[in-house]
Amino acid sequence: MKKILLVILVLSLTLLLTACFGGRNYRVLGDIIEFGGIEWRILEGQDGRVLLLSEHLLARRPYHNTVESTTWETSDIRQWLNDEFYNSFADEYRARIIETTVVTDNNPWHGTLGGNDTVDKIFLLSIDEIAQYFGGDMEPHVWWDDAQWSPARIAYTSGGQAGAWWLRTPFQSQNSVALVTETGFVVPAFNINQTCTFIRPAMWIYL
């Protein structure tokens, strides 16, 4: 009888682990994990891999060093994330970071061009992904409205300071870009070379 109960228990645990990690959708979404010495929030999981977003605001950096027409593809922040930031991880962590095709859609309110698709290890979230993972109304002409606000977007440094963080979607023009404010709104940043906005990187990794 004890052996039968043990077999049932093992099978139950196996099925539970398969449901959580072996299928297409994970049941650990929203959990915080440590990866490469940084805490990350799991946004999505499928087929043995998960999409991570840094739980805390990391370094302050400009989106682009010059106020000029730019897209995610040509931005200085993309180059920094996929070079210096990526190479700051140890070899065993870099081996688990997945090269991803990143599609930056046009701005949903102004139609500003998102630019070419890119292949990146590390990237920033887009306005569309903010709506997908954090909620809020992203329909045209409501970006300034309270309906568009979501407290789930508010992020803090490891020291507890709330701050604004960059997105990769352009805003009214090709020399402006979207960011999330410290109060959870998505607004334009006309000074894309400002140094007061934080980075909150995202990446897909293999489990």
C-beta of residue 121 within 8 angstroms of C-beta of residue 85: no
- 166: exposed, middle or buried (C-beta count within 10 Å: 0-12, 13-18, 19+)? buried
**How many domains in the chain?**
2
Q: pLDDT per residue over 77-135, tens digit each?
A: 999 999 999 999 999 999 999 999 999 988 888 888 989 999 999 999 998 899 889 87
- Answer yes or no: is pLDDT of 13 > 80: no
The residues near 207 (Cβ < 8 Å, ≥ 6 apart) are: 21, 45, 48, 49, 50
Angle made by CA atoms 31, 158, 131, in degrees to the nearest 5: 50
Quote the pLDDT of residue 5: 43
Amino acid letter, 29 = L
Same domain, yes or no: 70 and 135: yes
Same domain, yes or no: 5 and 86: no
135 vs 31: CA distance, rounded Å: 17
Same domain, yes or no: 94 and 181: yes
Same domain, yes or no: 22 and 101: no
Average pLDDT of span 153-158: 95
Same domain, yes or no: 77 and 7: no
Same domain, yes or no: 4 and 69: no
Average pLDDT of span 47-70: 95
Give me the percent of the chain exceeding a pLDDT of 90: 60
Same domain, yes or no: 146 and 170: yes
- Answer yes or no: is pLDDT of 142 > 70: no
Angle made by CA atoms 89, 94, 95, in degrees to the nearest 5: 155
Same domain, yes or no: 51 and 153: yes
Quote the pLDDT of residue 119: 98
Max intra-chain CA distance, the chain: 74
pLDDT band at 26 (very low <50, low <70, confident <90, very high): very low
- Answer yes or no: is pLDDT of 195 > 60: yes
Same domain, yes or no: 86 and 185: yes
- Mean pLDDT estimate for the chain: 84
- Whole-structure pTM value: 0.83
Same domain, yes or no: 77 and 18: no
Same domain, yes or no: 17 and 112: no
Quote the pLDDT of residue 30: 86
The kind and range of the H/E element at 93 are helix 91-94
Dig out the tokens for 92 from the structure.
Answer: 């065993």
Average pLDDT of span 168-173: 90
Same domain, yes or no: 46 and 109: yes
Dig out the tokens for 203 from the structure.
Answer: 């990446």
The 3-class secondary structure across 7-18, one letter per residue, is: HHHHHHHHHHHH
Dig out the tokens for 42 from the structure.
Answer: 């799991």
User: In which domain, by residue range, is 56 found?
Assistant: 31-206
Average pLDDT of span 128-152: 70
pLDDT band at 149 (very low <50, low <70, confident <90, very high): confident
Highest mean pLDDT among 24-28, 106-110, 134-138: 106-110
